[in-house]
Structure 1
Amino acid sequence: MDTAPHASDDERAQLASRLAIAIGRINRRIRPHTGIMTYAQLSALSSIVRLGPLRPGDLARLEAIAAPSATRLIAGLESEGFVTRTADPADGRAFFIQSTDAGAEAVLRARAERAELLEQLLTDSTDEQIARLAASVDVLEAAAVAGAPVIPGIDSTDTASSNG
């Protein structure tokens, strides 16, 4: 029998509001400062590294952006040597994009920088606060992939190496 207390809808709404503000503020503070690429490019490149090769339309759906925006992101990443295009053998007019080694390395560097910046933000946290935060990571990871677009042949719910 489940004896754990249940949060009311109002309590969940208040928590969601506080969490949205905190996540937004933290996200702005831990954005990579290397200037190598924009946040949108890093997010797209992370998806390509994690799930690629991808069609441009699949990338647009994953990143929740319009197709022309995906085209511009891909062109920018390609000009920097972070992705390459390969022909779609099933459709000569279409292509796939995949990460280069330089693209995968750029994602790893950006993730390491974000983790370092987040670690600095947590420096003054108590052991008890860190333990509570650690206990919430599973919930946050599940929420991060809830409602992710379903693209046949692509598991976009993988949280092991999430974007950025």
Structure 2
Amino acid sequence: MTNHAGSDRAEIAARLAVAVGRLNRRIRPAGELTPGQVSALSIIVRQGPIRPGDIARAERVAAPTITRLLTELENRALITRSADPDDGRSFFVSATEAGTVAIATARRQRAERVLALFDELDTDQIERLGEALDALELVADSTTAD
């Protein structure tokens, strides 16, 4: 393993971006929900009932993208819409029981795929990944880097 203590920040950033993208493709379950659907549905499960605009802001995507995702999720009976009592032009979305199950299943499948990837690493490498998680979760949840 290469020592990265003196590496350039831009090089580390570029390598991390490539590795995260490749890992995401390797752990994505085939044939079920798209990554965008999983992400939006996760927000709905965690924060719903929620307005579409709030989902768009959280996902950092345009309203038409969220509208399309919500239509797909609704067609699959994973979410339901309800009128916004304060704004007749708006609505809230909530996860159905099937939507909650779909998210739990997607998370479990992804975790199982990551666990299988750990077979390619030694104990020290896995421990170092664990140590990096706090920093990775911090930047993953940050609102400053769009």
More helix by percentage = 2
Structure 2: 5+ residue runs without aligned partners?
none
How far does residue 136 in structure 1 lie from its aligned partner after superposition? 0.6
TM (normalized to structure 2)? 0.89
How far does residue 99 in structure 1 lie from its aligned partner after superposition? 0.6
Question: Deviation digits for residues 31-50 of structure 1, max 9, x if unmatched?
Answer: 121x2322211111111111
Equivalent pairs, count: 141
> Structure 1 runs of 4+ off > 4 angstroms?
none
How far does residue 95 in structure 1 lie from its aligned partner after superposition? 0.6
1:30 corresponds, among 27, 30, 33, to 27
- 2:129 maps to 133
Q: Do the aligned residues in 2 keep the contact of 1:83 with 1:103 (CA within 8 Å)? A: yes
- 2:16 maps to 19
Structure 1: 5+ residue runs without aligned partners?
1-6, 150-164
How far does residue 148 in structure 1 lie from its aligned partner after superposition? 6.2
Q: Alignment identity in percent?
A: 50
- 1:64 maps to 60
How far does residue 78 in structure 1 lie from its aligned partner after superposition? 0.8
TM (normalized to structure 1)? 0.80
- Counterpart check, 1:144 vs 2:112: no
- 2:79 maps to 83
CA RMSD of superposed structures (Å): 1.7
